[in-house]
Structure 1
Amino acid sequence: METVLEIKDLIISFDGFRAVNGVTTSVQKGEVRFFIGPNGAGKTTLLDAICGRVHPQHGSIIFNGDKNIMHYPEHKLVNIGIGRKFQVPSVFTSLSVYENMEVSVVKKRGIAASLFSEITEAQQEKINKVLTLVDLNNCAGKKAADLSHGQKQWLEIAMLLVQDLQLILLDEPVAGMGRRETTKTGELLRKIAQHCTVIVVEHDMEFVREFASKVTVMHEGHILDEGSVEQVQKNPKVIDVYLGRGGENCA
C-alpha cells in the first residue's frame, strides 16, 4: 500500500518534558487510523506536530514520500493537502451551510479574498458533491447556527473535504454525540477514506472498535502497541495501562 505519512523518531519536548518521545509509525493511503491511549499519552500533541501547531525537536514527518513537513507552517500544510478539525466545531454560524462551503472552497486564497470571490461552476459542483457525501445537501440554505451538534461536525468535515485534501486529522469527532450520530459519523469516515486518508484521536472505544482500520495505542509519549483493535486489546501492556484503567471507554 502507498504510504501517505511516515513519522520517524519524533521527539516533542515542553520545558524538558517529552510529550512525544521517539515515536515512529506510518499511515497508509485509505486508512481510518485511530490514535488512542490514556490522557496525557501524547496523542493530541502528535496531531499538533503533523498540522504544524508545534515544532518537534528531533525526527521527521514525511508526507507523500518526499516532503519533510516537520517545520511547515499551518497554512502551507493546507496547500499541500493536510487539514485539521478540532473537537469544537468552528463553522461560521451566521452563514448558511452553503456559504460556509463557499468560503472554504476558496480558502487557499485567504479569508478576506474568499469573501469577495466568485464561485466557479466547477466549485459549485464540488460543493454539492461534498454536501451530498456528508448528508447535508438538504440543509444547504440553513444557517449553520441552527444545525445540530452532529451536523456542525459534519459541516466542518465537509469544509475540509472541499479543499481537495489528501489527509485529514480529526480530534474527538464524536464527542458530545448520541449513538445514532456517532454511528453516522463512523459511516461517513469510511466514505471519506475512499477519497482521502483519515487520522482520528478518540476516546469512545465502541466507536474505535467499529470503525478503525488500524489502531495506535500511545502511553507516556511512546507507542505502546499498533495493529487491529482485536490485536491491541489482547496485549497485556495495553490492558494494564489503558483498558485496565476504568474500563474500555477511557482514553
Structure 2
Amino acid sequence: MFDEIYTEEQVERVLNGVGIEPASETESNFMVFCPFHNNSRTPAGTVSKEKGLFFCFGCQTSKNLVEFVMAVSNRSYFESVRYIKQKDSETDIAQLVNKKLYVTPEFVQFDEVLIKRLNNQALETPRAMNYFHSRRITEASVNKFSLGYSDKQDYVTIPVQSPDGMTIGFVARSIEGKDFKNTPGLPKSKILFNLHRVRSSKFIYVVESSFDAIRLDQVGFPAVATLGANVSSVQMNLLEKYFSDVILVADNDEAGSVMIDRILGKIGSKISVVKIDQ
C-alpha cells in the first residue's frame, strides 16, 4: 500500500473526508495546512496527487497516505486502508463542479514564517554561515535575501519570489556535495530570481545561479538568475518586458553555450554576452 498509485480525485476525496481541505494546488501536489503543528497563515504541507505522500516544510513531518489518515482521523491501519479504497470509487458531484469552476492561481504564497525561521537558523548556525562565506556571500546578503538553513537536512535555502515579489517557495542545496531540492511545484520556468528587486533597472545581468546573482548584487550590479541553463520562453519574455539591455554572463561550458544560444535566438538584439572561466 505504501507504493500505491492513486488518482488525483481519490487523494482529494480522502483529504476532504478527513477534514483536510486543500488550500491550493500545483500540477503535482495539493497544498494543505499542516495538522501536526500550528500552521494557519499559509499552507506548509504538500500531498502528492499521485502517491499521496505528505510532507511539511515547517515541522518536517512526512507520512504516506495510510499513515496520514491514521494520524488525523484516529482510524486503525486496516480501517484507513479500507477508507482510502472506498474513496477510489466515489463520485462527488459538488467537487467535480467546483473543480471545473476553480481557476488555479499562477503563483501560491509560501509560508513566510517558515522562511524567517530558516533565516534565523542560518544566522545562528556557524556551519551555515561558514558555508555562505565560503561561497563569498556576506552576512548582509544572508539577511537581505532571507537565506536559510535546515539543520535536519543540512541544506541551505534560497527563497524565490514571483515577479511582483510574493514568496512562492525556495531552492535548496546540500552543504556537503551538490544535491539540490526545490519546494514541490515551484514554477522555476515562470520566474527570474531577484526580478522583483531590479525590474526598474534599464539594464540587467543574467546568470544561471542564484548565488551568482547575489554576488553581483553585493558589488552593485543588478542581476537575475534563470535557476538553470534551460531558459524558458516565459523567462525570456520577462527579460524583454522589463529591460532595454541584457548582459548575459554565462559559464564557459556546454550548459553556458546552451543558455547563450537559447536567449540569443529569442532576444538577440538586446543581448551582450560575457563568458567566464569556471
Which structure has more strand as a fraction of its residues? Answer: 1
Higher relative contact order (CA 8 A, sep 6+): 1
Q: TM-score, normalised by structure 1?
A: 0.30
Structure with greater Cα Rg: 2
Q: TM-score, normalised by structure 2?
A: 0.28
